[in-house]
Amino acid sequence: MRDHGGNLDSAAALFGGAVEDWLDLSTGINRVPYPMPRLPARALTALPDAAAEARLLAAARVAFRTEAPMLAVAGAQAAIQLVPRLTPPGRARVLGPTYNEHAASLRAAGWQVEEVSELAALEGADLAVLVNPNNPDGRRHPPETLRALLPRVGRLLVDESFGDPLPDLSLAPEAGVPGHLVLRSFGKFYGLAGLRLGFVLGSAEDVAALARMAGPWAVSGPAIAAGTVALADRDWAETTTARLEAEGPRLDALAARMGWRLAGGAHLFRLYDTPDARAAQDHLARARIWSRIFPWSDRLIRLGLPGGEAEWARLDAAFGEGMR
């Protein structure tokens, strides 16, 4: 099993309580979600049609500021599993540590995978993969740096799942060139992860090949309908970005009371260096607050941002108790 956040059933089994009792800060999913629009009955009763999907893609192109060919899929995860099948397996390099599904999906498809720690080490790979901004440390790579990398690899995959608040960081506007793929998530920034909606952008040839692999009705009717409305609401996106920018330092101040040091992060999550990550997670878990720790580090813990004052007060109380 590959470890992920969001595993509240495991948290409840270890520490007690019902899943509904827990505050889940173990993911980078926005806890102040987009208000779910009223869905037309047809979104639930009919198979998704081409016109509805075209409206979704039109809204996504405006939101991502791009005219590149694009495919809607059932979450960015679906694209992560499809991309390794675009070409015969070869040598892949993944800039890490990062979201573990990239390397795992490549290995499952027969690729030779090397995880590297420096951007320059991606050069020469048949497929180079990086997350920008990175999960979990928030590392960012400017577009001009990634453009320079593109001719030095066979194909470059840039996962921008946490990129919505940083449009100037995105390579989506130029994703239509051969050998370049960009992934975008919907569920994280819009807080509607259960809809399972994401996008893959690339050359016309690559997007057509991915569409053939994904098959018909790759995205549900409710995801298409809700995504079309949400992506078109730029006022909500701007307000949400401003809120997240203000609340990151607020979380840092709470963590500092515990003696935790900021080690990185993005708009939707923060990464902290602690004396003992497992002890830190256990401390929060006793207050029914779930966090994310990593099998490759015994010091790092990641927290998503609370949603609303009641959740902030709950986290404040847990931090105020101090480590036992």
Q: How confident is the model over 159-187, as pLDDT tens digits?
A: 999 999 999 999 999 999 999 999 999 99
pLDDT digits (tens, 9 = 90+) for 67-77: 999 999 999 99
Which of 184, 201, 232 is where one domain is finished?
A: 232
Say if 324 falls within a structural domain.
Answer: no
Q: Which pLDDT does position 323 carry in this prediction? A: 59
Instruction: For strands 198-201 and 70-73, give the pairing.
Output: antiparallel
**Could you tell me the pTM of the whole model?**
0.96
290 and 243 belong to one structural domain: yes
142 and 258 belong to one structural domain: no
- Cβ pair 219, 213 in contact under 8 A: no
Neighbours of 228 (CB within 10 A): 20
166 and 179 belong to one structural domain: yes
- Asked if pLDDT for residue 1 goes beyond 80, the answer is no
The whole-number average pLDDT for the span 183-206 is 98
Say if 60 falls within a structural domain.
Answer: yes
pLDDT digits (tens, 9 = 90+) for 284-298: 999 999 999 999 999
138 and 225 belong to one structural domain: yes
179 and 50 belong to one structural domain: yes
115 and 59 belong to one structural domain: yes
| Residues sharing a CB contact under 8 Å with residue 224, sequence separation 6 or more, in sequence order | 43, 48, 52, 53, 55, 56, 72, 197
Nearest in space to 159 (alpha carbons), one of 103, 230, 267, 80: 80
Say if 213 falls within a structural domain.
Answer: yes
Which of 197, 232, 267 is where one domain is finished?
A: 232
The whole-number average pLDDT for the span 185-200 is 98
223 and 128 belong to one structural domain: yes
Burial 143-159 (b: 16+ CB within 10 A, else e): beebeebbeebebbbbb
Q: Please state the φ and ψ torsions of residue 2, each to the nearest 5 degrees.
A: -90, 135
CATH of the domain at 120: 3.40.640.10
Residue 99, H or E segment: none
Say if 2 falls within a structural domain.
Answer: no
56 and 192 belong to one structural domain: yes
134 and 226 belong to one structural domain: yes
CA 321/CA 283 separation, integer angstroms: 9
How does DSSP classify residue 55? H
How does DSSP classify residue 275? S
- Asked if pLDDT for residue 322 goes beyond 80, the answer is no
Say if 137 falls within a structural domain.
Answer: yes
- Cβ pair 272, 263 in contact under 8 A: yes
Say if 131 falls within a structural domain.
Answer: yes
Percent share of the chain, pLDDT over 90: 97
Query: Which residues span the domain enclosing 206?
Result: 41-232
- Cβ pair 162, 55 in contact under 8 A: no
Q: Please state the φ and ψ torsions of residue 251, each to the nearest 5 degrees.
A: -65, -40
Report residue 3's pLDDT band, with 50, 70 and 90 as the boundaries: confident
159 and 276 belong to one structural domain: no
- Asked if pLDDT for residue 50 goes beyond 90, the answer is yes
CATH of the domain at 258: 3.90.1150.10
188 and 239 belong to one structural domain: no
Which of 232, 253, 282 is where one domain is finished?
A: 232
Percent share of the chain, pLDDT over 70: 99
Q: Which pLDDT does position 2 carry in this prediction? A: 78
Number of domains observed in the structure of the chain: 2
Report residue 320's pLDDT band, with 50, 70 and 90 as the boundaries: confident
The whole-number average pLDDT for the span 25-54 is 96
CA 142/CA 166 separation, integer angstroms: 11
Q: Which pLDDT does position 85 carry in this prediction? A: 97
The whole-number average pLDDT for the span 43-69 is 97
Q: Which amino acid is at 50?
A: A
Please state the three-class secondary structure of 58-80 as a single string.
Answer: HHHHHHHCCCCCEEEECCHHHHH
- Average predicted confidence (pLDDT) for the chain: 96
pLDDT digits (tens, 9 = 90+) for 111-136: 999 999 999 999 999 999 999 999 99
Say if 3 falls within a structural domain.
Answer: no
Neighbours of 28 (CB within 10 A): 27
Say if 120 falls within a structural domain.
Answer: yes
208 and 296 belong to one structural domain: no
